[in-house]
Amino acid sequence: MNISLFLKKKQMKYFRLIVFSIFFLSFSIKAQNLITFQNFDELNAYVQNNSEIPLVVNFWATWCTPCVKELPYFQKLHQDNPNVKVITVSLDFEKQVESKLKPFLKKKNYTFVTTYMADKKFNNWISKVDENWSGSIPATWIIKANKGIFVEQEFASFEELNQFVNESLTKLN
């Protein structure tokens, strides 16, 4: 075996390793199912591309107690209300994505779409969601055919949330 063939074999080995690790990595990401948005434009594009049915976009974080409390209502909404799809956008600290956010989501097993916003220059994008959003969370954005209703509030129960969503959908008609 000459030296170049040996090198080629070695390269092939590395190539296989890389392919395998990419495959494995993408699989594990998929299992984690956390979509990361680098900026508002990416979030907005995602929203536009998934607008075949109305969306309920909830902004939250694991450190926000009222947000965590209302997540089960959003899960129930996602499951029980056939008129909408729920997308949650985590605003967790960058340093807590691996240590807190991902373990939390894994434990809870929510089936709504879970995403993470990496752009922490909040002043650049909060007003793009809604000009009246002061920045407190929880906050919820209901989008139907390019029109939206935004609320900076928490919901006390699934019924309250569901009613609000249904009323918003009627208003957005």
Question: Contact residues for other proteins (CB under 8 A)?
Answer: 61, 63-64, 66, 91, 93-95, 120-123, 126-127, 132-138, 152-154, 156
Least separation in angstroms between residue 107's CB and other proteins is 20
Report the length, in residues, of the chain: 173
Least separation in angstroms between residue 136's CB and other proteins is 4
Q: Which is nearer to other proteins, 43 or 84 (CB)?
A: 43
Please tell me the distance from the alpha carbon of residue 81 to that of residue 159, in angstroms, as a whole number: 11
**H or E segment to which residue 144 belongs:** strand 139-144
Q: Are strands 147-151 and 139-144 parallel, antiparallel or unpaired?
A: antiparallel
Least separation in angstroms between residue 126's CB and other proteins is 4
CA distance readout (Å), 116 to 9, 32, 98, 145, 162: 41, 12, 11, 23, 24
Please tell me the distance from the alpha carbon of residue 74 to that of residue 81, in angstroms, as a whole number: 10
Least separation in angstroms between residue 101's CB and other proteins is 13
Q: Which is nearer to other proteins, 113 or 137 (CB)?
A: 137
Q: Which is nearer to other proteins, 51 or 125 (CB)?
A: 125
Q: Which is nearer to other proteins, 64 or 101 (CB)?
A: 64
